[in-house]
Amino acid sequence: MPHKLVLLGSYVQLHLVYRYIQGRYTYFPVLTKGLLNTMDKEGDNNSDQRYTNRTIWWEEDAHQATVCMLDQSLLPQKIVILHLTHEQQVADAITTLKVRGAPAIGVTAALGMLLALHRFLHEEPATTGAEPSPLVLRAHLTSVGQLLRRTRPTAVNLSWAVERMLHCVDRALAESPDPQNLLHSLRQEALAIAAEDAAASLKMGIYGAEFIADGMSLLTHCNAGMLAVSSGPGTALAPIYTAHQAGKRIHVFVDETRPILQGMRLTAWELQQAGIPLTLITDSMAGHFMRQGKIAAVFVGADRIAANGDVANKIGTYSLAVLAQAHTLPFYVVAPCSTIDLALPSGNFIPIEQRDPGEVTALRGMQLAPHDIQVANPAFDVTPASLITAIITEQGSARSPYDVSLRQLGRQ
């Protein structure tokens, strides 16, 4: 049965549906009165293609289940859909940034757990001749959860989703030892996480658009748009899409975002597809344009927010926050509540992922730096709460003191 979730009156409707396509049941959210007119297309590069409003989705038939995703590592040159049938493939896709963005990898982890159970239930009886016991199922899913957690340690949405799925496992097994009941429960939980992600994206857009005035020029870093969530307008870009849809005239400066160039490859492409005026700049140009008065505010996403309001986000975010303060510009962080980690008292305790030095020394496989050179490649930095004007979530916005306001949002 299709599930229909109506958000914010008549403004937008999000349908969460199973659709029978070419012999398979496919799950995905559909924006029926949404922020962008998009088309579902896949294949090689084509100037007429527009990005589908699906980034990650689930397909299942009687024989096989698949986690499907847009391969973001190939954008914008190629639009390729991956069909993953094993949890190790899901883990590899997260590690290699085929899927990225904190909310998106949270949903991916949830679907990866579901995929692992579906595969195990189909393969284990053929191997042992018997259905696996509850203890075996719990041990298998615990192992898969550990596999997925190791992929990217900074983004708390990933571990949050894994933990939520494991809690669902415990509840389902306490109710019944039937493996099919467990599969049904995990399917519902994973799809609920995806649905909540899409709904949060829309709400963040509406709350965040209140901070954008007609005629503003904004700066954003990395990619926190449609590609960073499973479906919907994103996190930091959601207010921009919403403001644009409402008729506000805006211009967006897009940092290229070294070393993976998510701003250049992904954000610039997204905004261009949406018809939003933009200017692509190198990371080192931001201060220049701030000093010239060409930037009115900064909007960024987040991978983890500590209880005191310190924010871990893509490397370079802290520098932008310092520049924004020096030029008395508002600095907004947009992220769902699942990104808030109240267990960590400050950003000093946030684990920072260290990535392959080759991402710095080479570009698309071409070595640019001298060989055998020492390289540092932290994927994230931490912006102190004192530099942040407001943190915008699907529950509303929080302001200093964040140790109070973030907990209030959590209670909502």
Catalytically active residues, by annotation:
303
- Sheet containing strand 297-300, edge to edge, reads 278-281, 251-255, 217-220, 297-300, 331-334, 390-393, 396-398
**Which residues are within 8 A (CB) of 317 and not within 5 positions of it... i.e. 6 or more apart?**
221, 222, 300, 311, 380, 381, 383
> What is the DSSP code string of 27-65?
EEEEESS-SS------BS--TT----SBSEEEEE-SS-E
Which candidate, 11, 106, 335, 300, places its Cα nearest to that of 204? 335
Tokens of 287: 């201060």
Helices (H) and strands (E) in the chain, counts: 12, 19
Angle between helices 238-245 and 179-209 (to 10 degrees): 60
Q: Please classify residue 30 by burial: count the beta carbons closer than 10 Å to its beta carbon, then call 0-12 exposed, 13-18 middle and 19+ buried.
A: middle
